[in-house]
Structure 1
Amino acid sequence: MKISRVLNNSCVIVLDDNEKELVLLGNGIGYAKRPKDMVDKTKVEKVFVLQEGQHVERFAELLERVPDGIVDLAEELIETAHESLGTELDESIHISLPDHIAGAVDNYKNDVVLHNTLLLEIKKFYEKEYRVGEAGLKLIEERLGIRMAEDEAGFIAMHFVNAQSNSENDQTRAVITLVDEMDRIISQYFGKKMAALDKNSLIYCRYMTHLKFFAQRVLTKTYFEENDVKPLNLTLRKYKEEYACSKKVCGFIEKKYNYEVNEDEVLYLTVHLAQIMNRKQQV
């Protein structure tokens, strides 16, 4: 294969037999090379395709500012993701992932801490992608000697979520967004009491599961109906604060998502809020 462009000493672009551009990575593969030179196949370590011209230019720009070690690390992680996720990934991941990791490393060195507010939801809804994110943290520690917080595993995971283009992932992303919006409202309402909860407890897991199914009903325009509302009405009288919070959440949903929340749904959320806010009491 003949080289069509040398991006740096470790990266060249070649044209295959079908005139398709391939990106080749390898230590010294571009050293002292010029366009039309033959590529040294023994130095090829990674091969991928960037079909869109803009992606080639962005990748070239990326190589000018991101160390080769981070690009190599990102490519190894992408390969791991291909194997574990079993799906095609958008070619832009070859640009977005090393760019993100380089930024995360800079933040770490400058003591900039970014908290991932969606971490719990990512762990729950994107287990496979999160495991890839954890593999990324391990690679970063092994190659760069930097131990990052698990928040970063969540950020990396979302790059792989976004690189998968299918309707199921689109729906899941929408659910995660709504769950996060509801959880933020509830957390702000109860303040320190909510912050003190054990996020790994079974009761909290049940709470998050309820928010997930509630979000799914909102997005699919389906409705929850409780046949026996008497116990729920008794709960309302006992847990007025939780009911007020539930009304606030449901009011937000009605306004933003154009979804009319029925009273059964309001009361059902009240029950779950009462359970996590009053763990020692029987609800």
Structure 2
Amino acid sequence: MLSVTKVLNNNVVIANHEAYEEVVLIGKGLGFGKKPGDEIAGTQAEKFFVLKDQAEQEQYMSLLEYVEEDFIGVMNEFIDKLEDRFGARLNEHIHVGLTDHLHFAVKRIQQGQGINNPFLQETELAYPQEYAVATELTEWFGHQVGVRIPAGEIGFITLHIHSALTNRNLAEVNRHTQMVGELVDIIEENLAMQIDRRDMNYLRLVRHLHHAIERIQFENYVENQDALKDVLQQQYPVCYNLSWKLMKVMQRRLKKAVPDAEAVYLTLHLQRIVDNVRKIN
């Protein structure tokens, strides 16, 4: 048995748990007639999660003051479906972050406001599994709340999912995705070309940029490639110099050293794109 700390609404209760201290219990009618100090069986809850951070607890309580109970119920089911798809427990912060995000997204859609996501394709390329699940469940979510969710919103939901799966800060995931988009802009500007987003070489480049950023962030550096670096500098000077320009941007943004070996991999990716454009033209 658990002791009720606070009743947030008819379906959501905060209770004192022996092992986890305060937990959030969710279940239809779970909070009806309950008051602080009452005992409640944990088995009555359809779901429970722990918000260990005090700020997150306060954010969730604040959330329930302006978000309708029906919407909270849909979001809990949405997150259950996500966990089923991935066969993993998601970081509990998704209950706060994704609920808050989608609540305001639905309000904007209902008011006829558009949703612009300039990094949608880069997000899909970087996190294909999360994007596929987000696409499927966003359609289900739209039916539940009675609105058509635009494609751009799928990208934002993907980032929330990836953040919760990897226990990475959402703001960091978002910054890295935006950085990749900006790096692609620099590439197109310096090569004076528009890259075909359907080109397999573009897909490989974007995924490599994401992996490179993560490696640099966590200082998981690649092996030295000095011999190949000298060859590529001679054979592909334009792409080689561009690779260094991209590396300087990453170094400045991440405030981390970028290993010289990264120039080799970036040069090869860039040269493949250039060669493909030449074949077409």
Taking structure 2 as the reference length, what is the TM-score of the superposition? 0.73
Is 1:136–1:156's contact at 8 Å kept on the other side of the alignment? no
Q: CA deviation at 1:99?
A: 0.7
The question of whether the paired residues in 2 share the 8 Å contact of 1:24 and 1:47 is answered with yes
- 1:87 matched to which residue of 2? 88
SS in 2 for 1:62: helix
Q: Identify if the C-alpha distance between structure 1 residues 261 and 37 changes in structure 2 by more than 3 Å, giving closer, same or farther.
A: closer
Tell me if structure 1 keeps the 8 A contact 2:204–2:269.
no
Give the drift of 1:254. 6.0
Q: For 2:14, what is the secondary structure of its paired residue?
A: strand
Q: Is the 8 A contact 2:7 2:34 kept in 1?
A: yes
1:172-211 correspondence to structure 2 within 5 Å: 176=177, 179-189=180-190, 193-194=193-194, 197-209=195-207, 211=209
What's 1:152 paired with? 153
Q: CA deviation at 1:121?
A: 3.6
Tell me the equivalent position of 1:11.
12
Q: Which amino acid aligns with 2:92?
A: E
Alignment correspondent of 1:30: 31
Distance 2:270 2:200 in 1: 18
What's the CA shift for 1:213? Answer: 6.5
Pairs within 5 Å for 1:262-273: 268=268, 270-273=270-273
How is 1:2-151 mapped onto 2 (pairs within 5 angstroms)?
A: 2-16=3-17, 20-39=21-40, 44-151=45-152
Q: Higher mean Cα deviation, 109-118 or 67-76?
A: 109-118
Alignment CA distance shift 1:278-1:243 (3 Å): farther
**Structure 2 Cα separation of the partners of residues 152 and 80 of structure 1:** 18
Judge conservation of contact 1:23–1:47 (CA < 8 Å) in 2: yes
Aligned residue in 1 for 2:246: 249
For residue 98 of structure 1, report the CA deviation from its aligned partner: 0.7
Distance 1:188-1:73 versus aligned 2 partners, 3 A rule: farther
User: How far is the alpha carbon of 1:67 from its aligned partner?
Assistant: 1.6
Residue identity opposite 1:259 in structure 2: V
1:84 and 1:128 in contact (8 A); partners too = no
Distance in 1 between residues matched to 2:17 and 2:213, nearest whole Å? 48
What SS does structure 1 have at the residue aligned with 2:49? strand
Question: Is the 1:125–1:172 Cα contact (8 Å) retained in structure 2?
Answer: no
How big is each residue's C-alpha offset from its partner over 1:92-139, in whole Å with a ceiling of 9 and x where there is no partner?
222112111112112222333343344334323323322332243123
Tell me how far 1:157 sits from its aligned partner. Answer: 2.1
* Deviation by residue 1:43-82 (Cα, 9 ceiling, x = unmatched): 7443323334443322211101112222222212222232
In structure 1, distance between residues paired with 2:74 and 2:156: 16
Displacement of 1:182 in angstroms is 1.7
Q: Is the 8 A contact 1:73 1:139 kept in 2?
A: no
Q: 1:259 to 1:38 in 2, by over 3 A?
A: closer
Task: String of CA shifts for 1:243-283, please: whole Å, max 9, x gaps.
Answer: 775564355356555437587667535523413543414xx
RMSD: 4.1
> Greater shift after overlay, 172-181 or 44-53?
172-181
- Compared with structure 1, are the counterparts of its residues 112 and 243 closer, same or farther at alpha carbon in structure 2 (3 Å cutoff)? farther
> TM-score of the superposition, structure 1-length normalised?
0.73
Q: Is the deviation greater in 143-152 or in 225-234?
A: 225-234
Which residue does 2:275 correspond to in 1? 275
For residues 267 and 4 of structure 1, the distance between their equivalents in structure 2, rounded to whole angstroms, comes to 59
String of CA shifts for 1:204-251, please: whole Å, max 9, x gaps.
324435545665776625454575977985665xxx6x7775564355
Go from structure 1 to structure 2 and tell me whether the alpha carbon gap of 1:116 and 1:40 turns closer, same or farther (over 3 Å shift). Answer: same
2:249 is aligned with what amino acid?
F
Unpaired runs of 5+ residues, structure 2, are none
In structure 1, stretches of 5+ residues that fail to align are none
Letter matched to residue 200 of structure 1: R
Larger radius of gyration: 1
CA contact (8 A) 1:89 1:164 kept: yes
8 Å contact 2:6–2:13 — kept in the other structure?
yes
**Aligned residues of 2:213 and 2:250 also touching (Cα < 8 A):** no
